Amino acid sequence: MSRFLKVQCDCGAQQIVFGDAKSEVTCQKCGNTLVGPSGGRANIHCRILEVLG
Ligand SMILES: [Zn+2]
């Protein structure tokens, strides 16, 4: 899986993240962890609104 995901944080902020993120991605608004690495595959902690590509 190598694609971008449009996700929404619990705070309502929307953000584009890489589906295979190797590092932690945090919400730009509240700092909540959106994506964390898990055994080489991204672990999505938030709601996925849309899969891009
Ligand atoms: Zn947030």
* Domains along the chain with CATH numbers: 4-52 (2.20.25.100)
Maximum CA extent, the chain: 28
C-alpha–C-alpha distance, residues 42 and 30, integer Å: 20
In this prediction the pTM is 0.77
C-alpha–C-alpha distance, residues 46 and 42, integer Å: 12
**What are the residues facing 52 on neighbouring strands?**
4
State pLDDT tens for residues 11-22: 999 999 987 777
Ligand 1 center to 10 CA (angstroms):
6
- Residues above pLDDT 90, as percent of the chain: 55
C-alpha–C-alpha distance, residues 35 and 45, integer Å: 6
**Nearest CA-CA partner of 24 in 32, 13, 35:** 35
Ligand 1 center to 41 CA (angstroms):
22
Ligand 1 center to 33 CA (angstroms):
8
State pLDDT tens for residues 1-53: 568 999 999 999 999 998 777 788 999 999 999 988 777 677 888 999 999 97
Ligand 1 center to 53 CA (angstroms):
24
